[in-house]
Structure 1
Amino acid sequence: MALRHAVLAALLDGEYSGYQLAKAFDIGVANFWHALPQQLYTELAKLEKDGLVAGRQVIQETRPNKRLFHVTDAGRAELERFAADVSKPSFIRDDLLVKVQAADRIGTAPVIEQLEERASAADAKIQLLGNLLRQMRGDLDEEQYLRTGERVGPYLTCLRGLAFEEGHRDWCLRIANVLRERRTTRAER
């Protein structure tokens, strides 16, 4: 998947400035696609040049002018084409896993500390995603929302992000405990 498809999908919810798009990525899209704000601005320019989004200038009295972008018919067609393509399996590429793999040989203390930091960061994301899910649902319970909600796609990706963060947190805490216990057991020998 290219960043362009993630940007197009995010713009399906309405018209956004580059700044608003970056905020939307931070909240809802970051759980499955990471992009820096400058990457988003660059991608918006490319998408506009390719006719997949259109921008319009908004004159503001007390602030600098801004451009708002929306998906064009060509952009929707590109997303439909992308949706029809067979997705490749995802893979993990994480420097912490390299450290865990080497922990027996390089020492466990810094790895345990990093695992606990990751678990804490995952907890914060779990709270953020939980709040976002509740906000999207409004007064509906989850099953009602999944059946009748206005726009279910962002909700479903947040559910995936929540499951990922919960699994990641639980794994980090478990592995930190395993390494800690192994260190204690070896010290007792």
Structure 2
Amino acid sequence: MGLRHAVMAALLEGESSGYDLAKGFDASVANFWASTPQQLYRELDRMESDGLITARVVEQVRRPNKRVFSLTEAGLTALTVYSATPPSRPTAIRDELMVKVQCVDLGEADAVRAAITERLHLAAGKLTRYERLRDRLLNGRHEDEFFADAERVGPYLTLLRGIAFEQETIRWSETALHVLAARTSRRDADR
């Protein structure tokens, strides 16, 4: 999957400025796709050149004018074709922290525990943001009611995946920290 597909998926929510897309990526798409603002703006320019999106200038008072983007028919068609194509392969995890954890028995447990603790805090922060977003999407409705009545359920389903991922990261981090603390205590007692 390319960044352009994630951008087009985000534009299904309606037209948006590059700034709002970048900010929205943090809230809506970040649970399954990461991008820097620079990458996003470069991709928006390419997508406009390719006819997948169109931009219009919105004049603002006391602020610079901004461009807002929306999907074209060609963009909708490309996204429809993309969504009908099976994924090329399952997601592969490439996580530097896991390599460090693999090496923890070499004696760098304090540094690894600090890295795991940082990951735990990041996951907890993301989980809090995702849960707030879930509450906004549900808007007081029960989840079953949302699924039955919502115009689009895709954003909610991807959000559920992001929530599950962060919950699992928290569970794993807590387990790893507990195991490493117990091993350190045992090792210290044996000395």
TM-score bracket relative to the smaller structure: over 0.9
The offset of 1:150, in angstroms, is 2.3
Residue of structure 2 in register with 1:10 after alignment = 10
Matched to 1:125, the amino acid is K
Give 5+ residue unaligned stretches, structure 1.
none
What SS class does the counterpart of residue 68 from structure 1 fall into? strand
Q: In the aligned structure 2, how far is the partner of 1:42 from the partner of 1:68?
A: 15
1:1-189 to 2 correspondence within 5 Å? 1-87=1-87, 88-189=89-190
> TM-score w.r.t. structure 1 length?
0.97
The offset of 1:61, in angstroms, is 2.4
Q: Cα RMSD over matched residues?
A: 1.0
Q: In the aligned structure 1, how far is the partner of 2:107 from the partner of 2:98?
A: 13
Q: Deviations over 1:39-86 (max 9, x none)?
A: 111000000000000001111222111111000110011111111111
Q: Calculate percent identity across the aligned residue pairs.
A: 46
Give 5+ residue unaligned stretches, structure 2.
none
Q: In the aligned structure 2, how far is the partner of 1:3 from the partner of 1:21?
A: 12
What SS class does the counterpart of residue 27 from structure 1 fall into? helix
Asked if structure 2 preserves the Cα contact closer than 8 Å seen for 1:51 and 1:72, the reply is: yes
The offset of 1:139, in angstroms, is 2.2
Q: In the aligned structure 1, how far is the partner of 2:52 from the partner of 2:117?
A: 43
Q: In the aligned structure 1, how far is the partner of 2:113 from the partner of 2:144?
A: 38
What SS class does the counterpart of residue 147 from structure 1 fall into? helix
Q: May I ask how many residue pairs the two structures share in their alignment?
A: 189
Asked if structure 2 preserves the Cα contact closer than 8 Å seen for 1:137 and 1:149, the reply is: no
The offset of 1:6, in angstroms, is 0.2
Runs of 4+ in 1 over 6 A off after TM superposition: none
> TM-score w.r.t. structure 2 length?
0.96
Q: In the aligned structure 1, how far is the partner of 2:149 from the partner of 2:21?
A: 26
Q: In the aligned structure 2, how far is the partner of 1:106 from the partner of 1:69?
A: 52
The offset of 1:111, in angstroms, is 0.6
Q: Deviations over 1:94-141 (max 9, x none)?
A: 110011000001421111111112111111111110110010111211
Q: In the aligned structure 2, how far is the partner of 1:110 from the partner of 1:129?
A: 29
What SS class does the counterpart of residue 57 from structure 1 fall into? strand
Q: In the aligned structure 2, how far is the partner of 1:50 from the partner of 1:109?
A: 50
What SS class does the counterpart of residue 139 from structure 1 fall into? coil
